[in-house]
Structure formats: C-alpha cells, structure tokens
Amino acid sequence: MRMMTCNVRFSAATDGDDSWPYRKALCFDVIRSRAPDVVGFQEVMHDQLVELREAFPDYDWAGMTRSPGSRDVPNAIFYRREAFALVSAGGYWLSETPHVPGSSSWASADVRLANWVVLEDRSTGRELRVVNTHLDHVSQPARENQARLIAEDARAFPDAYAQVLTGDMNCDGRNAAIRILKEAGWRDSYEAVHGAGDPGPTYHEFRGPAHRSELGKIDWVFVRGAVRVLDAEIITDSRNGRYPSGGRYPSDHYFVSAEIELAAS
C-alpha cells in the first residue's frame, strides 16, 4: 500500500501565479499519478477540503477542524474506500492541554494538532493506524514538545502494532524533534530505502531545484511496528516534468511517498 504526505500550501496565501487556483489541477494530477492508498495532507483550508473531496471521490476522509468555529481541517487524512474500512478516528492538539480545541503552547506560532485514523485492510483484516501532523515552523521548544506528545501517543500501542506517521515536521533529521520521534520507535521510510544521508530540501518555495537552503528533508513518512518499507520517493514532478529549469509545481513542498506492507506482528 502507498502512503503519501502532501503539504498543499493553504489557499489563502498570496502566491501570485503559484496561488491555489492556478496549481490545484496539477496538485490533483500529481497525487493521482501515484495512486496512493492513504494521504496525509497539511495546510488544508475548508475550500481546499471541498475540492479535494470532489477530486478524489473514491476516498473517504477524517480530521478535526483547527479550532472552535473553524471549518479548516489542516491535517486531513484521506484513505481509499475500496482498500480500507474505518475502525476509529480522532485527534488531539499539540499543546499542554491536548484535549482543549484550538489550544497552543511553548510559544508555538500557530495552532498545531495531530489527526489519526485506525483502518482495517479489507484484503487481510489487519489494522493500520495513521497519524498526520504539522509541527510548528518557528518555535524549537514547540517542535520538541509536539514531537514528545506524538511519541507518547504512539507508545500507548504495542510495539508491534502497525502505525504510520505523515507530516511536515518543519525540521530535518539533525533536529532534536526528529531524534525524539526516532527514539520512540518511529523509523523514516525514506532512510529505510535510500540510506541515512539527507536527500536535500523538500520545501522549495515553488522554485524546485533552483531553491537553495541549508534545511534538508522536512516532509516525512515514518513507520512503527510491524511495517515493512518497500520503496520511498520524493516526488519532484512539475508541469514541465521532473527537475525542469522552470515551470509550475503542485505546492511549495515536494510530496513524499512510501510503499509499505503490513508484516505479521
């Protein structure tokens, strides 16, 4: 089964020719081209959620709104209806009061949350838990504490229980937040296939390989428990093909995918 993490860049951003209306069709096409079974989205506003549901009618979805009164579902999870039955779904805020809607802590620049679903693989009857999140982009204490909450949540399940964590972590593998996740048993799917070296930035400001940054891969698909990783890809597609000299990209982030299978626990 194929997992994807996709930061689609929120539709209210003033991005000129790269604004959502001009790239959404490309965004949908790139996602369809990989035929994912599960997609963890980030930065989804209500209008984007409506359009994603229309673009992917074979998928069901789950996710909490950002805060009371909001209709934005920034960390929506889509899953292929034919492949999975929903067992349960929920989420929590990445704060000192994770049960309080819209809460934030540790000087987090934005309200951050994690959504999760437990899915039953219709072909095998095995369960898979998928968590989708977006760590803070400013506060390092927030990133570390947000990672700790996700780590604590994962540890509530048996070590062999199959889990996937997708998300924009706003930090690369050198950051303590990633170390916290790995120490809790989360394994990077890209590293499992391609080795430990950082492949370079996944945030590129709509510039593709022309973007220069000291920050490496910040978009992640982690696995935990009885999950085997078969393949992993940083998806660099644009309107003019891969690694063009110019052209339009589906987002200001590269999407990341991982092909996995559920092993016997």
Q: What is the predicted pLDDT for the residue at 243? A: 40
11-29 tens-digit pLDDT: 999 999 999 999 999 999 9
Q: What is the predicted pLDDT for the residue at 26? A: 95
Structure tokens at 23: 């790239």
Structure tokens at 173: 């593998």
Residue 47's CB is within 10 A of a number of other CB atoms, namely: 16
- 105 pLDDT tier (thresholds 50, 70, 90): very high
pTM of the model: 0.96
Helix/strand/coil percent split, the chain, to 5 = 25, 30, 50
Asked whether the beta carbons of 133 and 150 are under 8 A apart, the reply is yes
The structure tokens 């089964």 sit at: 1
The mean predicted confidence, pLDDT, of the chain is 96
Distance CA 219, CA 197 (A): 15
231-258 tens-digit pLDDT: 999 999 998 754 444 568 999 999 999 9
What one-letter code names the amino acid at 247?
Answer: G
What one-letter code names the amino acid at 102?
Answer: G
Asked whether the beta carbons of 48 and 8 are under 8 A apart, the reply is yes
What residues does 203 pair with on adjacent strands? 253
Q: What is the mean pLDDT of residues 177-203?
A: 97
The structure tokens 């369809």 sit at: 32
Number of C-alpha atoms within 13 angstroms, CB side, residue 131? 29
Distance CA 234, CA 50 (A): 26
Asked whether the beta carbons of 112 and 133 are under 8 A apart, the reply is yes
The structure tokens 């085997």 sit at: 228
- Would the pLDDT of 37 be above 70? yes
Q: What is the predicted pLDDT for the residue at 245? A: 44
- Terminal-residue alpha carbon distance, the chain: 17
CATH number listed for the domain at residues 2-262: 3.60.10.10
| Strand 219-224 with 163-168, pairing | antiparallel
Sheet holding 219-224, edge to edge: 84-93, 113-121, 127-134, 163-168, 219-224, 187-188
In sequence order, the 6+-apart residues with CB closer than 8 A to the CB of 95 are 103, 104, 105, 106, 108, 112
Q: What is the mean pLDDT of residues 18-41?
A: 97
Q: What is the mean pLDDT of residues 57-86?
A: 98
Q: What is the predicted pLDDT for the residue at 247? A: 66
- Would the pLDDT of 192 be above 80? yes
Structure tokens at 22: 């001009």
- Would the pLDDT of 179 be above 50? yes
How much of the chain, in percent, has pLDDT values that exceed 90? 94
Number of C-alpha atoms within 13 angstroms, CB side, residue 42? 33
Q: What is the predicted pLDDT for the residue at 240? A: 73
Q: What is the mean pLDDT of residues 62-68?
A: 97
Q: What is the predicted pLDDT for the residue at 242? A: 47
- 264 pLDDT tier (thresholds 50, 70, 90): confident
Q: What is the DSSP string of 17-84?
A: GGSHHHHHHHHHHHHHHT--SEEEEES--HHHHHHHHHH-TTEEEE---SSTT----TT-EEEETTTE
